[in-house]
Amino acid sequence: MNPRLDSLLGNAVSAVQANAVKPLYALPTAVRRRLAGAPIQIDGNILDPEVQLLLRADSLLPSTTKSNVATARAHLRTACKLVAGNPRELHRVTELTVRGADGQLGARLYVPRDAGRGLLVFLHGGGWVVGDLDTHDCLCRALADDAGIRILSVDYRLAPEAPAPTAAEDAIAAFTWAVDHAEDLGVDPALVAVGGDSAGGNLAAVVAQQCVSRDLSRPALQVLLYPGLDLVHRRPSRDLFPEGFIITEHDIIWYRDHYTPDPGVRGDPLVSPILAPDLTGLAPTYIATGGFDPLRDDGNEYADALKAAGVAVTHICHTSLTHGFLNLLAVPGAVQEARAHLTNHLRATLR
């Protein structure tokens, strides 16, 4: 790389350290491509160059390998601010409480200006250990605004303070609360969906299953965004992308061990919903996976299993993207296209 590009990359890293990627993506496209480096191709997929640029800048920062819970939580809050861009202005954002499995949980209701009668109960990602209402605030604002639906983001209890299946039981209770209070929330109880990203996708899958097995009101839609669905078995994508693509093999094991300190619970469908013996009768499903995600094969396999069980499934594997791509709100190109695909589906299904 020549000195000019070295300098530009140094400025890019400074932008990342300053918690703002906007200057990075203000560079001319040709420069961004050169800074990103040679195309990365794995398993027949080519990494999106805009995401590759972000990963390259991030790789020059100090290591963020998981060590302790407090540090990991602080890092995710910082990382989400880095990549989120400016928060959308909505008609109303309200703090409230919802029912959990054992007491009240914090929650946040997002109401866009053109809100229809649909609601997505949203469960944030973060390995059941990190993440909160604020880490996913910009994402919820963008989804609500673009889809024209209300979103209820739930602050379920985290491990290790509350190990499995606490988060799952909180998610089930919060979803049923939303259905019971649909009119108060300004929505149609028949148009209440459940969804989440990563660990939140795991919890959303659990909610959809348990609503059937416990004879509760079923979601209008389950939205599973690059979900981690199996805490027992490994799939090939874990070996293809062990590090360098947002979430690492070390991260996956660290989250698993904190969420399930008792290995005996890992095979329970409340924890590993892909292991449920019967998937018939589940809600229509939207699954998004990333081609460069170590958890890719969980979502791909679950989509196939749902289809085999007769469930209506919309599954798209965004082959050029990594885990966590929907949180990269400030990144142009394929990330924006992926979010548009999701919000168009939400708008068509829940309004």
Distances (CA, A) of 12 to 16, 23, 36, 59, 61: 6, 7, 11, 12, 11
54: left (phi over 0), alpha (psi -120 to 50) or beta: alpha
How many angstroms separate the CA atoms of 212 and 208, rounded?
7
Pick the catalytic residue from 153, 198, 272, 320.
Answer: 198
Q: Is 323 a catalytic residue?
A: yes
Q: How far apart are CA 96 and CA 126, in angstroms?
A: 22
- Alpha helical stretches, state H, 181-215: 182-185, 199-213
Phi, psi of 14 (to 5 degrees): -60, -40
Contact 203, 168 (CB under 8 A): yes
Among the listed residues 246, 237, 166, 167, the one whose alpha carbon sits nearest the alpha carbon of residue 200: 167
Alpha carbon distance, N-terminus to C-terminus of the chain: 50
Q: Which amino acid is at 262?
A: D
> Considering 124, 136, 258, 323, which one is annotated as catalytic?
323
Active site residue 293: yes
Give me the catalytic one of 230, 293, 297, 298. Answer: 293
Catalytic residue status for 239: no
Q: Indicate left, alpha or beta for 207 from its phi (over 0: left) and psi (-120 to 50: alpha).
A: alpha
The residues that are catalytic are 198, 293, 323
